[in-house]
Amino acid sequence: MNVVLGVGGGIAAYKSAELARALMERGMRVQVVMTDAARQFITPLTFASLTGHKVITGLFASGSSEETLSSAIEHIAVAQDNEVLVIAPATADLLARLAHGLADDFLTTMYLAFTGRVVLAPAMNSNMWMHPATRENLAALRKRGHIIVEPEEGLLACGNTGPGRLAEPDRIADVVVEVGAGLTFHARDLEGETVLITAGPTQEPLDPVRYISNRSSGKMGYALANAAAQRGAQVVLVSGPVQLPEPHGVRVLHVRTAREMHDAVMEHLPEAGIIVKAAAVADYHLSQVPRNKMKKTAMRMSLDLDPTPDILAELGQKKGDRLLIGFAAETENLVESARQKLASKNCDMVVANLVNQEATGFESDENEVVLVLSTGETIPLSRAPKREIADRIFDQVLKLRLAVHAAQ
């Protein structure tokens, strides 16, 4: 994939060199375009050395008339030859010029000719970030379908602490990968909504060393949390033990057992309008856990296990006018089992998948599911990355919400 990396004039420009490398590590060809202000913070030679390509720094060449003519129309060629434009750092000044269509240098002129996807990673002082003018410019850019990689909070160059730090290069690069993979990035159609999501396995202790668990990686639940957050929702993610980075902008509550997950979910139920139960909760646990490790002997051992709390069933009883989405991990009779769960747990939708398939099982990055809806519909979602599946699930959640509101 061909990517234009636009570098604005801010102290965070040095991170753009790390971003260029991160994009190339993900298999992308990177063409760097720098503003005049950016050259005050980092040299074009740095980017040329990293990417192996000429860095564009101006709209006009200083050589012969032929070179000048070629340079003057180069912004059109660059716009046509690349699929994604990512600007990092996108300063307050750059955001304003993009929002109002001002074209006084190569980057802003090329932007007006660019027809691909645009990713903007702002970086600036906290007061500048929160200023009404900046907020209005961001709203206009979002309305055009541009992806905003929100800045992070932390110590800024000015010495203040707050929002405004450029997002980490790997995070920006991952967004560009998703854009390039053809994912549909939606308007913030979950704005004002609180989504409660569970993810991962639980671990039920047998003694201080051993536990009962399952093969859930948490990837589907974390993909759902990322999708909901990017679509504007406030997200509470109750996560069992997983080896995954926390989704940006998501409140993560780490739990271990089914009882801990139950208590966390019920504590945050009142604030949620949508509940997505993607966790693979253990069905049984040992009620009386020994204080010391059980020693191995030559004798057979039997354990009396009790059922864990049925979180989904309890949510079905308490949901009120909330939307409740359950998951069914099956090895056979997929749709029939999902319909039974839909009815018995009082869900609005059940996401069913076969977990005994190697390519789309628990630990895979992809999934293939069937959505079984309370409206009677059955919607198969063909194999795709879990992040894409997550967006398609929320597409149906929003349609369900409209149907429920229309029926009231």
Q: Which residues are catalytic?
A: 158
Neighbouring CB atoms inside 10 A of 161's CB total 12
Separation between Cα atoms, residue 69 and residue 212, nearest integer Å: 70
Instruction: Tell me the CA end-to-end span of the chain in Å, nearest whole number.
Output: 47
The DSSP-derived string for 230-292 is HTT-EEEEEE-S---PPPTT-EEEE--SHHHHHHHHHHHGGG-SEEEE--B--SEE-SS--SS
Instruction: Report the alpha-carbon distance of residue 280 to residue 351 in Å, rounded.
Output: 13
Quote the distance between the C-alpha of residue 288 and its chain's center. 39
Six-digit token string for 230: 């990017």
Q: Decide if 282 contacts 252 (C-beta within 8 A).
A: no
Q: Say how far apart CA 79 and CA 4 lie, in whole Å.
A: 8
Instruction: Give 40's DSSP letter.
Output: G
Distance of CA 402 to the CA centre of its chain: 24
Of 233, 272, 273, nearest to 249 by C-alpha is 233
Burial of 125 (0-12, 13-18, 19+ CB in 10 A): middle
Residue type, 314: E
Among the listed residues 197, 219, 183, 182, the one whose alpha carbon sits nearest the alpha carbon of residue 365: 219
Do residues 276 and 195 lie in contact, with contact meaning Cβ atoms separated by under 8 Å? yes
Distance from chain centroid for Cα 204: 29
Q: Tokens 């949620």, residue?
A: 272
Phi, psi of 29 (to 5 degrees): -90, 125
